[in-house]
Amino acid sequence: MLPARNARFYRYTFATLVALVFVYRAWFMSALPLSGDEAYHWEWSRRPAAGYYDHPGLTAYLIRLSTALLGRSTEFSVRLPALLCLLLSTVVAYAFSRRIARERGLSATAAERAGFLAGVLLLFVPVFAVFSVYMSTDPPLLLFWTVTLYLADRAVKDGAWRDWLGLGVAVGLAMLSKFLAFFLVPVLGLFVLICPENRRWFRRPQGYVAAGLALLTFSPFLWWNATHGWATFVFNFMTRQKYEPAGLRYLAEFAVTETVAFSPGLLLFGLYGAFRALREYRREGGRSALLLGLAFAVPFTYFLLQSFTRRIGAHWPTVAKIGMLVYLPYDWERTAADGPRRTVQRLKRWSVGLCVALTALLHVGVFVPLRLAQRPWFYSGMPDRINTRVLLEFFGWDLLGARVQAVYDQMLQAQRARRGVFVICPRYGVAAAVAFYTPRQLRTHLWAPRRTHGENYRFWDDYASMKGQDAIFVTKKGLARVESQRAHLRGYFDTVADPEPVPVVVGGREVRRFHLVRCRGFNGQVPQFRAPEQGR
């Protein structure tokens, strides 16, 4: 598949490629404003806790560490942990695929080629490229999922205590990243149970110590949930689990999103690769193939079955892809010695080339011309989330933040505002983005009914303590919606002023408009809402 070079060539080329990708993506992620979710995760980092409503809190601590080390909160410092997590995942995948190839008797050069290709795939598969510049709970999950698979393979084969202890910590950190890490339990459990050679570890202490260490690492989060009504468990296993009959629509969406996220050729090779991995174990006893096959099959099959009754997020099955991205390069090198047909080799090259091309297009597409973003296209299945006008969300947050800060300072200096001024927003993404983009990064509060996401503001907001203060209401809704929101605000403030537009002008053209509403004399009551609003 790859040209015949010596092992050193692939090793040095990989190191150079990682360095170049780091430099380019560091610039790329600094050029884009934070999304609402990224800003919300940054809000977590300003309020350290052992857990949060939506997810465990490792993401918050990584952002906190990065912003503290770099001295300020910027797009770069918030997203730097994502870039580092994905690059480290790439290095681990490189080492893992190379190790398997060596163990299975491939030459040193073939092993380096396998490792090189595994690293390249993790760098350029579209969904992994996105998570290298987008800070969420997924980048640390992907890192510690990859490390867990690598250490599990080493631990059951070599039996070194350092591998078992590292495995326990890696599993615990994966679970502190995101609940999808719970798939590691059936993956590792089946890996040990299926293989007779692995079952001997049931009679030895290492596995139990690793499990105890994972639980110990995870225990602060369990304690937080026990003292907060098991909020994260209720959210992940009950609140967000919405099932509805939709025929085959969600299954079709799942097929399309996974094809784009994995790239078409690699998805087909990945599905076939999972079959080959499990067959390799059955025929040849390859334990690494069994582990990687299970790491793909367990989560991917779960989401495939779920897609018959609910919409599956394009990024949810991302962890499943790691197993195949490690296995495929080794398998391709192994079968290359058998002289596969030229057509198959050509398809492999085309699939990798298409993967790289899609990611390159993704990097360019973010800076799509403004007039394209203003064309009224939307996907009927999710018209409020998937539409061309979403691209306009990139514009105006810094301008809005500057205006909110100016109004805040004016109101704070006014006679009636001696008790203070606070900022309220009707969506968690807006509240977090306003907080990030005001020059002094003000604290903001959520003024909205309960929704699926963003509910950690309920633990932060103490409206009773703000009685008598003035407020700035910030919204990105149109004027008609603002009027209905003002009617609600009048029940909690002495006076509610007319909305002040904050237009966002790009290239001499207004592309979007925010509104500010000055409210005076808060009565201290917790806001109540009759019906939930939609959106983030």
The 10 Å Cβ neighbour count of residue 165 is 16
Q: Please report where in the chains the tokens 């205006």 appear, as a residue.
A: 403
* Among the listed residues 124, 111, 134, the one whose alpha carbon sits nearest the alpha carbon of residue 40: 134
Q: Find out whether 316 and 229 touch, Cβ atoms under 8 Å.
A: no
- Residue 31 DSSP label: S
What residue type is 36 in one-letter code?
G
* pLDDT tens column, 472-499: 999 988 888 899 899 999 999 999 999 9
User: Which conformational region is residue 182 in: left (phi greater than 0), alpha (psi within -120 to 50 degrees), or beta?
Assistant: alpha
d(CA 431, CA 425): 5
pLDDT, residue 536, reads 42
Give residues with Cβ within 8 angstroms of 181, minimum separation 6: 141, 144, 145, 171, 174, 175, 319
* Among the listed residues 302, 347, 177, 320, the one whose alpha carbon sits nearest the alpha carbon of residue 261: 320
- Which tokens go with 430? 């807006």
d(CA 335, CA 291): 19
* pLDDT tens column, 249-268: 899 999 999 999 999 999 99
d(CA 56, CA 174): 10
**Beta strand pairing status for 421-425 and 493-496?**
unpaired
* Among the listed residues 484, 462, 465, the one whose alpha carbon sits nearest the alpha carbon of residue 473: 484
d(CA 497, CA 511): 25
- Which tokens go with 343? 């057509």
What residue type is 111 in one-letter code?
A
- Which tokens go with 62? 């990584």
pLDDT, residue 418, reads 64
Give residues with Cβ within 8 angstroms of 433, minimum separation 6: 33, 34, 36, 39, 397, 401
pLDDT, residue 89, reads 98
- Which tokens go with 91? 């290095």
d(CA 1, CA 352): 10
Q: Is 154 helix (H, G, I), strand (E, B) or coil?
A: helix
Angle at 279 between CA 274 and CA 284, to 5 degrees: 130
d(CA 419, CA 524): 13
**Low-confidence residues in the chain, pLDDT < 50:** 532-536
d(CA 175, CA 190): 18
Q: Find out whether 273 and 344 touch, Cβ atoms under 8 Å.
A: no
Axis crossing angle, helix 318-336 with helix 264-284, rounded to the nearest 10:
70
pLDDT, residue 2, reads 61
Q: Please report where in the chains the tokens 């080629």 appear, as a residue.
A: 113
* Among the listed residues 39, 82, 88, 131, the one whose alpha carbon sits nearest the alpha carbon of residue 362: 131
What residue type is 324 in one-letter code?
M
* Residue ranges per structural domain of the chain: 7-221+240-365, 394-522
- Which tokens go with 223? 């304690």
Please classify residue 378 by burial: count the beta carbons closer than 10 Å to its beta carbon, then call 0-12 exposed, 13-18 middle and 19+ buried. Answer: middle
pLDDT, residue 337, reads 59
d(CA 371, CA 388): 10
| Bridge partners, residue 495, by sequence | 520
Give residues with Cβ within 8 angstroms of 438, minimum separation 6: 401, 402, 404, 405, 408, 423
| Bridge partners, residue 421, by sequence | 470
| Alpha helices, DSSP H, located in 337-469 | 342-365, 370-373, 397-413, 428-437, 457-460
Axis crossing angle, helix 75-103 with helix 36-46, rounded to the nearest 10:
100
Q: Find out whether 274 and 293 touch, Cβ atoms under 8 Å.
A: yes
